[in-house]
A and B are shown apart, each in its own frame.
Chain A
Amino acid sequence: MKLKLNAISKSFGPVKANSNINLTVDNGEILGLLGENGAGKTTLMNILTGLYKPDSGTILIDNQLKEFQNPREANKSGVGMVHQHFMLVPVFSVTENIILGTEPTTRFNKIDLKTATDKVVKISSEYKLDVDPNALIEKLPVGIQQRVEIIKILLRNAEILIFDEPTAVLTPQEVTEFFEIIKSLKKTGKAIIFITHKLHEVLEICDRINVLRRGKIVGEAFPTKTNNKKLAELMVGRTVKLRTSRRKMEKGKELLKVNNLSILSDKKEPILTNIDLVLHQNEILGIAGVQGNGQTEFIEALTGLRKASTGKIVYFGKECINITPRKIHALGIRHIPEDRQKQGLIGDFSLIENIILNTYYEKDFSNNLKLNWLNAKKEARRIINQYDVRTNSEDISANKLSGGNQQKLLIGREMSRSINLLIASQPTRGVDVGSIEYIHSQIIKARNKGIGVILNSTELEEIIALSDRIIVFYEGKIIAEFPSNSDPKIIGLAMAGVK
């Protein structure tokens, strides 16, 4: 099917999220959509899938005018979207999730799982998705869960497929596999819209690229005739340093020492075994590894969010194992959590309320009991300005910000207070290139001032660009350590468990 968007505009109060957008996608074409955080990409897709109604403009599918009242109607017209946050029921099987809402039934109104499973198997093999229809969702890695979402929309006969930052949560291996999948979808004539902040990805996979800035389409590009640098400039409107420069530094005093740290799961299975490491001042320690190898739990243990079973954590020479997050915070240890919506922010709270989430009890923002909203507001304004959070007001709730702007707010909050040690997980997930440049430069500036940094990221490029030393987690153990500027290929092998 052919899609054509005509002069679409959409405002939220004073914010023009989309203004007069024209866009087309043909069948068998992959269109890349690039744009800064808050440029209006997700909003445009939400209009296309019937979640929002445009203020003006029209949607044409195969030259037919469409007006969607809700996602179901968009679905019926062949539009399907894979959201960045999956909408799956963890305790259901793959098939059960896929048929949810359109359950096929037998004569006596019993759910016909057999037919459903067959359908899932058929689609799965047709597009080489390789998904076990009977597996439980909660047992599956993120990459496979994403494929379940893809099967879900394919089963509803989607011909126009939308992917909103699908690669943000995938490992490099999973990204490669994902690209194979969308290539095979393209071959069968689907029209595909692909949103990402990673420029090399659009260059690799797309046929055509549209760039949005502040709600408007500002340019079109073709992968064969452009490059990273040009795209970044088109997006941000200025030159962007895509590689962060970092001078070598002597490491300083010891800040953190982890000794023999082990964590058991609730079922007494080992999650982490015998972790040993040391972090110094003026040092950035990168943690590389495929997600799910214990990095998350390690960081939760460091930040007081998870109980360690045995071992020692020593901050600044003081034993600090299993103390509360508040006490750890009081030591000047700041934590950027990997999941901003689950841990780092409260979606229904205003930006001001979010700015004081882990400092509301400190004397800047309260005196024992009474909160000082005036100070909180000032601080929120300061961070919004400094970290270029795109919003017209600090009073809106955090879930109204675009994904990348939520991340910038969170990073601004954590990096703005007095800080001795920074523990950052996926700090630039969903953030545009211009802001990545700024966040990276802030992290390096902090390190130059004498702060120690633990950087956990699935972006190997990010790890290599920033780290003074790199360790690799595999199955709950540290299996390798590398100096900075090591060969990504060798690190990649270690991540796969090859020593």
Chain B
Amino acid sequence: MSHYFSNRETFKEIILIPVIATFLAISLGLLLLIFSGSSSEIALKALIALFLGSFGSLSAISETFTAATPLILAALGIAIGFRAGLFNIGAEGQIILGGMAAVIIGFSFHLPFVFHIIFVLLAGALFGAFYAFISGWLKAVTGAHEVITTIMLNLIAYRLLDFFLRISWIQKEGRNDPISKSILETAELPRIFYVLDPNLRVHTGFLIAIIAVLVVYWLIFHTTIGYEFRAVGKNLEASRYGGINPALTIIIAMSSAGLLAGLAGASQIAGILGRATPGFSAGIGFDAIAVALLGRAHPIGVLFAGILFGALIAGGREMQVSADVSLDLITVIQALIIIFIAAPILIQKLFPWIFK
């Protein structure tokens, strides 16, 4: 169906460039390891660990998908923003808000199993959406740039979380450190392979993420709303001429982005963490920006980029354990990937024969 619209991202752009970027980044990362004094054996061991830890076994794959889940969800939101010409730095704050809402609903209501989960996810999504709405509204009404407002809102979210974790009815009974009560069992997202092996952590949040990929794809390319997002993002004047209300479109795009980030936060609480602690968002909102860039703001691209980043996280842990290589190497590799993605021309120049 892709021939109806000019999402001109070809196979080369969505798949080939990211793959080459990753390949280059990992090679450079390992070279760096050798230059910093490690033997080439250790580098080789690290490489093997990276692979085994991410795709080498069922439990490795489970870890990869687990780490990928919130990244994919939040990055889909950021991708929607990109399409509408918005640079949303605020996924981190939106994840925190979504997670906080999920915690409250998760421990304070007694509901039957499926309903409780749905309620938790909805609350997370709504709070994330609301938090992003603030930035969208500020931009639409006052012209305040979303980069500035989302960064400020991130900082506010961190402080809000600190405050939140010390409210007496939220803080875990008998604890002095900032930690919330745990959500009830009915609010937990069930693990997908529970029957196979209860230790496989990948949970139904991953399935939700895949559904979200399809929904966002449909939204962007097959609905009037997606058309409006893309028109406003590409040519504001022409979109006005076409009868689109750019202010409203920006608000909707921003809120949808927050909805997905909020969902990421809720899925993280209900699928993995079970409670909120300071820093439970773990920079996922920032990594998600990288994932959205790597995926070229295309839902399918985001899915693969999210899995790749998940693999780097899972494999990185294994690398640390079995090759005793610092986890920082993974951060370096992630950063290199972004540099190569941000400079696609560089890759085309390096491998001209592939892009003939």
Which A residues contact B (CB, under 8 angstroms)? 303, 305, 324-326, 329, 335, 337, 342-350, 352-353, 356-358, 360-361, 366, 368-371, 373, 376-377, 395-397
Known: A324-B245, A326-B243, A376-B4. A371 touches B223 (CB 8 A): yes
Give the shortest distance, in Å, between B40 (CB) and chain A (any CB): 40
Is B177 interfacial (CB-CB < 8 Å)? no
- For B223, the closest partner residue in chain A by CB is A369
**Chain B residues closer than 8 Å to A370, beta-carbon distance:** 222-224
Which B residues contact A (CB, under 8 angstroms)? 1, 3-6, 8, 222-225, 227, 230-231, 234-235, 237-243, 245
**Chain A residues closer than 8 Å to B222, beta-carbon distance:** 370-371, 373
**Chain A residues closer than 8 Å to B8, beta-carbon distance:** 348, 397
Report whether A358 and B243 are in contact in the complex, using a CB–CB cutoff of 8 Å: yes
**Chain A residues closer than 8 Å to B3, beta-carbon distance:** 395
Known: A324-B245, A357-B231. A373 touches B238 (CB 8 A): no
Known: A360-B224, A371-B222. A349 touches B234 (CB 8 A): yes
Give the shortest distance, in Å, between A350 (CB) and chain B (any CB): 4
In addition to A342-B238, A346-B239, 7 A-B residue pairs with Cβ atoms within 8 Å of each other are A326-B243, A349-B230, A360-B224, A360-B242, A370-B223, A371-B223, A377-B4
**Chain B residues closer than 8 Å to A324, beta-carbon distance:** 243, 245
- For A325, the closest partner residue in chain B by CB is B243
- For A326, the closest partner residue in chain B by CB is B243
Give the shortest distance, in Å, between A328 (CB) and chain B (any CB): 9
Report whether A305 and B235 are in contact in the complex, using a CB–CB cutoff of 8 Å: no
User: Once the chains are docked, how many angstroms separate the CA of A395 from the CA of B6?
Assistant: 7
A-B residue pairs in contact (CB < 8 Å), sample of 16: A305-B240, A325-B240, A325-B241, A325-B243, A326-B243, A346-B231, A347-B234, A349-B5, A350-B5, A357-B241, A360-B227, A361-B224, A369-B223, A370-B224, A371-B222, A396-B6
User: Once the chains are docked, how many angstroms separate the CA of A366 from the CA of B234?
Assistant: 21
Report whether B5 and A352 are in contact in the complex, using a CB–CB cutoff of 8 Å: yes
Give the shortest distance, in Å, between A64 (CB) and chain B (any CB): 28
- For A345, the closest partner residue in chain B by CB is B238
User: Once the chains are docked, how many angstroms separate the CA of A6 from the CA of B289?
Assistant: 50
Give the shortest distance, in Å, between A232 (CB) and chain B (any CB): 33
Q: Which of B223, B230, B238 contacts A344 (CB 8 A)?
A: B238
Give the shortest distance, in Å, between B242 (CB) and chain A (any CB): 4
Closest CB pairs A-B (n = 8): A326-B243, A350-B6, A373-B4, A357-B242, A358-B242, A346-B235, A397-B6, A343-B241
Give the shortest distance, in Å, between B240 (CB) and chain A (any CB): 6
- For B4, the closest partner residue in chain A by CB is A373
**Chain A residues closer than 8 Å to B242, beta-carbon distance:** 325, 357-358, 360
Report whether B4 and A352 are in contact in the complex, using a CB–CB cutoff of 8 Å: yes
Give the shortest distance, in Å, between B105 (CB) and chain A (any CB): 29
Q: Is the interface of B mostly helix, strand, loop or mixed?
A: helix
Report whether B5 and A353 are in contact in the complex, using a CB–CB cutoff of 8 Å: yes
Report whether A305 and B241 are in contact in the complex, using a CB–CB cutoff of 8 Å: yes
**Chain B residues closer than 8 Å to A325, beta-carbon distance:** 240-243
**Chain A residues closer than 8 Å to B240, beta-carbon distance:** 305, 325
**Chain A residues closer than 8 Å to B234, beta-carbon distance:** 346-349
Q: Which of B4, B227, B238 contacts A343 (CB 8 A)?
A: B238
**Chain A residues closer than 8 Å to B243, beta-carbon distance:** 324-326, 329, 358, 361
User: Once the chains are docked, how many angstroms separate the CA of A348 from the CA of B238?
Assistant: 12
User: Once the chains are docked, how many angstroms separate the CA of A349 from the CA of B231?
Assistant: 8
Give the shortest distance, in Å, between B45 (CB) and chain A (any CB): 45
User: Once the chains are docked, how many angstroms separate the CA of A397 from the CA of B239?
Assistant: 16
User: Once the chains are docked, how many angstroms separate the CA of A368 from the CA of B245?
Assistant: 16
User: Once the chains are docked, how many angstroms separate the CA of A347 from the CA of B243?
Assistant: 17
User: Once the chains are docked, how many angstroms separate the CA of A337 from the CA of B224?
Assistant: 23
**Chain B residues closer than 8 Å to A347, beta-carbon distance:** 234-235
Known: A329-B243, A360-B242, A373-B1. A342 touches B224 (CB 8 A): no
**Chain A residues closer than 8 Å to B224, beta-carbon distance:** 360-361, 366, 368-371
User: Once the chains are docked, how many angstroms separate the CA of A376 from the CA of B3?
Assistant: 12
Known: A348-B8, A349-B6. A369 touches B238 (CB 8 A): no
User: Once the chains are docked, how many angstroms separate the CA of A397 from the CA of B4?
Assistant: 11
Give the shortest distance, in Å, between A145 (CB) and chain B (any CB): 20
**Chain B residues closer than 8 Å to A377, beta-carbon distance:** 4
**Chain B residues closer than 8 Å to A335, beta-carbon distance:** 241
Report whether B4 and A337 are in contact in the complex, using a CB–CB cutoff of 8 Å: no
**Chain A residues closer than 8 Å to B231, beta-carbon distance:** 346, 349, 357
- For A393, the closest partner residue in chain B by CB is B3
User: Once the chains are docked, how many angstroms separate the CA of A361 from the CA of B226?
Assistant: 12
**Chain B residues closer than 8 Å to A346, beta-carbon distance:** 231, 234-235, 238-239
- For A366, the closest partner residue in chain B by CB is B224
